[in-house]
Amino acid sequence: MYGHCSCGCRALQLWVQGTAAVGAGHSSCGCRAPKGYTTNNIFKETHYLHLVVATLFVRVQHYLHLVMATLFVRVQHYLHLVMATLRQARHQMMMRSHIICIQYDPADSLSLLCSVALFRWIAPPDRQEGKPPTHSQYSQNFTRVISLEAVLRIATSCPMFRLISAVLPERAIQNLTGLYFTTQHWLTVGSGLHHSEQTTTKYPTMKVVVLPALSDNYMYLIIDEATKEAAIVDPVMPKVVLEAVKNAQVNLTSVFTTHHHWDHAGGNEDLVKEFDKKLQVYGGDDRIGALTQKVKHGDTLSVGELVVNCLFTPCHTRGHICYHVTCPSDDTHRPAVFTGDTLFLGGCGKFFEGNAEQMHTALVKVLGELPDHTDVYCGHEYAISNLKFGLHVEPDNPALKSKMEWVKQQRENNLPSVPSTIGEEKQYNPFMRVKEASVRQHCGTSNSVDTMRALRDEKNAWKPPA
């Protein structure tokens, strides 16, 4: 008998005849289906199974939709609360001051990076593509970044952030801070734009081309007029440097790095790779990228006929070097000093890796001993914020008032505030006036080092009045 089993399993009845299944009350194929179980039964049960599965699917899908909708509404609600709080905090800080300047702290790189990421979401910059921002637009956008950053610093000041920053290798910290500074430049100034116009200061035997970089940095191309040999100070943006070298038609031979922070040394490696000749990279810290020669206090370098004296000024970082440029062959040459983040117009750098004694030595005993007519080229455009603090310390200082008016005019015209001179700094920079009675009276101190410490502590927490 070659028919199939009545249960529909398609087994041949002949294949199982005589098996134990036949006598056990089941179908002849041994599939364990009861006798009389037909294909119709299969179809019915399959139909019912489909109904059950479909019903379960619809209900599960319905409940999932309810859960997702509830979660979305709650998350959206909490986000709106957070955004409203951040906007309110930003508005309050913008009302306090026209512009707030910051200085880079490697330990805060993670919180700074978070602040930039949120800033783009909350407050996109007000700028016209292809046009340099006005000082007002630059100030407003920069203040937005710093206002939000201040909020994020509070939120991310827990020990975990500090711990992560402390254990990260130097390379990772530099990459994080590089991403921060690059993003900040794009947000506050605009891609391909600069916070100030490029300017050139001409000397009898030298030129200094001021190259704005990132959101407030300065790079400097030093050119010896006699030989057309050149050096670059802190080339954080290599493409800008290469273009300036090409336009000036000079022979770039040296890189002078003031310290290892990314916004000063972050372009060294790329510049060395992209430049078609071998470059000597000088600095006082092994953490500086592409370093070829480590220098110390008193070392002498040259750029053509120009003589460059290395001045060791540790405090902002433990390997900070300032570069003092003179031309012994020309008595009429006015000297210049490139101070990085040690001395700013009207201010000084934070004591990240040093103390008040070291900064006092750097400003008073090293830089302060240079001739008063020495031009000062600092690493950042912090002039307005610094002079506001100076007026807070010495509100009746006429030199401060005069310099503030001049700087405001420069910035309104999108021009750099550099250079100042050592002699000028002694008149209006409170950090170089720690011996003055008016400054000590403000700080409530009786000696220069304590005054330096008190000024820095106050400046770190100080905000301009509303």
Q: Is 286 one of the catalytic residues?
A: no
Residue 359's identity, in one-letter code, is M
d(CA 254, CA 403): 33
Contact 152, 114 (CB under 8 A): yes
Q: Which DSSP state fits 368?
A: G
Quick check: 328 and 205 in contact, CB under 8 A? no
Q: What ranges in 133-237 are assigned the alpha helix state H?
A: 135-155, 159-167, 170-188
Catalytic pick from 108, 216, 224, 263? Answer: 263
**At CA 71, angle to CA 68 and CA 72, rounded to 5?**
85
Tokens in use for 304? 């053509």
Catalytic (active site) residue 324: no
- Residue 409 sits at the vertex; the CA angle it makes with 407 and 411, to the nearest 5 degrees, is 70
Q: What is the DSSP letter of 132?
A: P
81 in helix, strand or coil? helix
Task: Give CA–CA dist 355/402, Å, rounded.
Answer: 31
The one catalytic residue among 216, 224, 341, 375: 341
> Which residues does 349 contact at the CB level (< 8 Å), separation at least 6?
103, 315, 316, 340, 341, 342, 343, 359
Q: Which position among 135, 194, 316, 320 bears the catalytic label?
A: 316
Set 26, 194, 260, 261: catalytic member: 261
Tokens 């509303």 sit at which residue? Answer: 466
Q: Find the catalytic residue in 195, 259, 320, 324.
A: 259
259 among known catalytic residues? yes
Q: Parallel, antiparallel, or unpaired for β 206-213 and 217-224?
A: antiparallel
Residue 341 appears among annotated catalytic residues: yes
Distance CA 351, CA 177 (A): 18
Active-site hit among 264, 320, 324, 360: 264
Side-chain half-sphere CA neighbours of 314 within 13 A: 11
CB 149 within 8 A of CB 100: no
Q: Which residues are catalytic?
A: 259, 261, 263-264, 316, 341, 380
